[in-house]
Structure formats: structure tokens, C-alpha cells
Amino acid sequence: MILHIRKAVIFCILIFLSSFSLYGCGYEAMIRVKNAQKNDIVVMLKDFVGINGYTLSYSNDETGVYRVVLGSRTTKQIETSETFSAYNTFGEKDNKTTLGQTTTVNTTNPPLQLVAALAIRIVQDGPDVIISAQSAGDLDTGRGFDVFIDSLKNSGYQIEFLR
């Protein structure tokens, strides 16, 4: 019984620790692109997605909402096997009998497909464009959006970070 509890505690600790190594902390950003047109920024986003080999898995030009898949990762299948043995001795002195039982438990955790994606919204705000982005997948995506911001700066746009 104690072995089962110990195994469950260790399993929970491993899941908790792996969540930090596999999953990002989440990403959320909002920027203002000064003196820009929404359509021009949308074209730049689509070019950025295509040039970098990303996938535009959802696109609605009317509402300015996009889902960009930056990549994916598959975890390895984990197989564990543990054997438990229990022995009991019955009788007294010279007339003792020992009975034993051995049980083997096999566990398989299948591989998981984890996705790195961004949900992006682009809206016109007077002479400026507001772009908001947040993680929409399992893996950290912040660096991908930071590179897009750099490409806007390199194209001559002035960027104001709102969040």
C-alpha cells in the first residue's frame, strides 16, 4: 500500500516538474503601431508567417483575428514497469509455511502533441493600429511575436508597448 502511495506521489511530482519544462508560462502582449493602416499590417503578418514557415490556421480579415501556429512538439512515450512482492509465513516452529505473491504493473503514457500558437487581433484605432497577441497553444510563443515586432520596427514603424 505504501509503495502505491509513494509511486503516485512521485508520478505527481514528475508531472508537475514536466509542466514547467514543456509548457510556457503563457504570453500576452499589446502594442500600438503608430501611423499605420490595418491592411498593411495584415499583409506584413501574412508575409511574416509564410517566410518563417509558420501556419496561418485561422484567418478572418474582416474582424482582424488570426491564429498563427509557430510549431509543435511531440513528447516521448513513457513506459514504466514495477514489480511488487508480498510474503506471509504461517505456522509455528518447525511447521512453518511461507506463501508469496508477486504482481507486476505495467504503465504506458502515450506521446502528446503540443502546439505553439498565437491568437492575434489587429484593429484600426484612428491613425494607429492596435495589435494584441496571446498564447493559444501548449508551448511558449513569446519569442515568435517579438520577432514580428522587430520586423515592424525594421520596416520603419514606431511601436508603443501597451502591455
Same domain, 38 and 65: yes
Same domain, 62 and 88: no
Same domain, 66 and 30: yes
Summary mean pLDDT of the chain: 80
Does residue 69 lie in a domain region? yes
Does residue 17 lie in a domain region? no
Q: Which of 66, 94, 109 is the last residue of a domain?
A: 109
What CA–CA distance (Å, rounded) separates 40 from 48?
12
Same domain, 93 and 124: no
Q: What is the pLDDT of residue 152?
A: 94
Does residue 88 lie in a domain region? yes
The CATH number that applies at residue 118 is 3.30.310.220
Tell me how many degrees the CA angle 149-44-55 measures, rounded to the nearest 5. 90
pTM of the model: 0.63
Q: Structural domain of residue 94, as residue ranges?
A: 79-109
Phi and psi, residue 71, nearest 5°: 165, 180
Same domain, 31 and 54: yes
Question: 23 and 116 in contact (C-beta within 8 Å)?
Answer: no
Three-state SS annotation for the chain:
CHHHHHHHHHHHHHHHHHHHHHCCCCCEEEEEEECCCHHHHHHHHHHHHHHCCCEEEEEECCCCEEEEEEEEEECCCEEEEEEEEEEEEEEECCEEEEEEEEEEEEEEECCCEEEEEEEEEEEEECCEEEEEEEECCCCCCHHHHHHHHHHHHHCCCEEEECC
Does residue 12 lie in a domain region? no
Q: What is the pLDDT of residue 103?
A: 78
Q: What is the pLDDT of residue 14?
A: 44
Does residue 134 lie in a domain region? yes
Same domain, 83 and 58: no
Domain tally, the chain: 2
Does residue 144 lie in a domain region? yes
- Give the model confidence (pLDDT) of 71-123 as tens digits: 877 778 777 778 777 777 777 777 777 777 777 777 777 877 778 888 999 99
Same domain, 84 and 53: no
